[in-house]
Homo-oligomer: A and B are copies of this chain.
Amino acid sequence: MTSLIPSVSLARRNLAFEVVSSLRAEIISGKLEPGVSLAEPVLAKRFGFSRAPIREALIELESEGLVEFQATGRTRVRILVESDFLEIRDARVALESMGARRAAARWTSGDTAWIEVNLKAQVNASTLAELSRLDIDLHEYVMLRGDNKRVLTLWQSIRRQFEMCLAKLHRNQQSLAFEPRQITVSAHRRLLAALASGSPEKAAQTMAAHIEDSMEWAPMYNQGLDGAMA
């Protein structure tokens, strides 16, 4: 289901592309934790390449916001704090409202069917990670249907940073003690209704409200930070 991700930009299929894909996946999944050093010689040895493609990959990842350059020139996995989380929320609201507005204007019964399949899977999801995955897939589908490459690309960047936040929350699971499934599914049903209603404005508003609701746990975002200092 993640195959619906389009190969945005990156027309070059070189070694740097491979490094970007690999590191991106590890950062998003939390396998590479925030703050971890990304020294070029180390990565070069690990991938079996020279430093050149590694450097190019790090530049790419920095512009995606997954990696940060320190004043000394050193690179590390980006550390996100609560204010970052709040920024991500508002960026999502801005971009996904527009995505929903545009998607609603071209919504078809086939789109409704796709969402319904996704929602059935959400109901049957057995782990929190699986539910998160399906949630993001649903939102990505709407963005794709919004049919605006720029808005989509900007959103992809924010989405990846959001996934970094999720990885952190999954690490300190105590932050998600409540039962999110029912809430998530019913919110998505309301969203679907708005998208299919034929009113772009309603779709945009419903999306904005949904994101704000679903990211309400922001205040507890930094709770478990102390023990996670890398």
Contact = CB atoms under 8 A, between A and B. Distances in A.
Nearest to A151: B91
Given A63-B60, A98-B94, A87 B11 contact: no
Nearest to A157: B154
Contact of A93 (B62, B70, B73, B98): B98
- Highest count of chain B CB atoms <10 Å: which of A60, A93, A94: A94
Interface residues of A, number: 37
Contacts of A56: 55-56, 59
Nearest to A63: B63
A59 to B, nearest CB: 5
Contact of A151 (B60, B71, B94, B97): B94
Contacts of A10: 69
A9 interface: yes
Contact of A12 (B12, B69, B102): B69
Interface string A90-118: 11011101100010000000000000000
Interface in A157-182: 157-158, 161
Contacts of A64: 63
Interface string A42-67: 00000000001001100110111100
Contacts of A71: 11
Given A59-B59, A94-B98, A87 B12 contact: no
Contacts of A151: 87, 90-91, 94
A190 interface: no
A219 to B, nearest CB: 18
Contacts of A138: none
Nearest to A69: B11
Interface of A: 9-12, 52, 55-56, 59-60, 62-65, 68-71, 73, 84, 87-88, 90-91, 93-95, 97-98, 102, 148-151, 154, 157-158, 161
By Cβ-Cβ distance, the 9 closest A-B pairs, closest first, are: A94-B98, A63-B63, A11-B69, A87-B150, A91-B150, A154-B154, A94-B94, A87-B148, A59-B59
